[in-house]
Amino acid sequence: MIKIHFLLCYLILLGLIFTQPIDLKTETFQAEVLDKKDQAVFVLFHATWCGHCKNLMPDYETVSERLKGLVVFARVESEERELLSRYEIKSFPTLIMFAPASENDPSGEKKVIPFQRQRTRADLTEFAIAFIPNYVEYVEDKSWFETDSKKVLLFPSKKFNTIPPLFKGIARDFRNDLKFGIVFSRYSIADELYEEFKIDTFPKLMIIEENSQQIVQVYDQNLNLKSITSFLQNFLLDAETEAESNENSIKKENIKKEL
């Protein structure tokens, strides 16, 4: 299991390092777009001779950098005729979101959604983050704590009433190992949890023990994707190491009893 977590650490950090937008070819499109089932991939179809494309590119690249690790941004040039035909690209620039399939879609195929808004940084950003899949649960009562999984709980700033894209992206990447929840100030249980967990500054992020409300660790660094990812990776590796150590100790005790 530890080797699996090391691979997870490597893959997630690699995702934070790579350069966006990715330049796509027909032969790489399947792997970079369609096979990334849980990733939103925002693709720009453009041409080098297109003036509107040149005007759009700086904003597209800026938004791409801001959302690196949360949404994949990619480009397809006009020479890739097969892709242009497949997605019926008639003019440049054309923006298409390849969004993760909904959980109740048995096909598992990505949804192809054209971008039909103003090509501003604000609209590009708002459109892109809307397709980050959500694996964060709303903590409105204490039944959320009754689970066999260790949990990551976020108390956002009181002005927030939606799940931060950053937290959605982290929950997506770690959803197989941890359960994620958020407590908004408007919830009736919020004040009780603020007092119980001694929350006096916001935002606050912490790891909670399984089947309890016991705090395992509190995250007190910068709230950015790379730092939180590293924090959770280290926690999982430490937990895995401790579990293996305990298992080995039990085996040794059992061997002694048999002798």
225-258 vs 2-17: helix axis angle to the nearest 10? 170
pLDDT value, residue 240: 74
Instruction: Give residue 2's pLDDT.
Output: 41
Output the pLDDT for position 221. Answer: 87
Give the model's pLDDT for residue 106: 79
Structural fold of domain 136-246: Glutaredoxin (3.40.30)
Structure tokens at 181: 């929840």
**What is the torsional sign of CA 49, 28, 102, 15?**
negative
Give the sign of the dihedral formed by CA 21, CA 26, CA 30, CA 31: negative
**Is the whole model's pTM more than 0.75, yes or no?**
yes
Residue 35 and residue 27 in contact, taking contact as beta carbons nearer than 8 Å: no
Half-sphere exposure of 102 (CA within 13 A, CB side): 2
Question: What pLDDT does 13 receive?
Answer: 47
Domain at 19-129, CATH homologous superfamily: Glutaredoxin (3.40.30.10)
Low-confidence ranges of the chain (pLDDT < 50): 1-8, 10-14, 16
* pLDDT at residue 242 in the model: 59
- For residue 183, what is the DSSP state? -
- Residue 220 is predicted with a pLDDT of 86
- Determine the Cα–Cα distance for residues 119 and 115; give it in Å rounded to an integer: 9
Q: Where in the chain are the domains?
A: 19-129, 136-246
Residue with tokens 């100790």: 249
The reply to whether domains 19-129 and 136-246 share a CATH topology is yes
Q: What is the pLDDT of residue 58?
A: 96
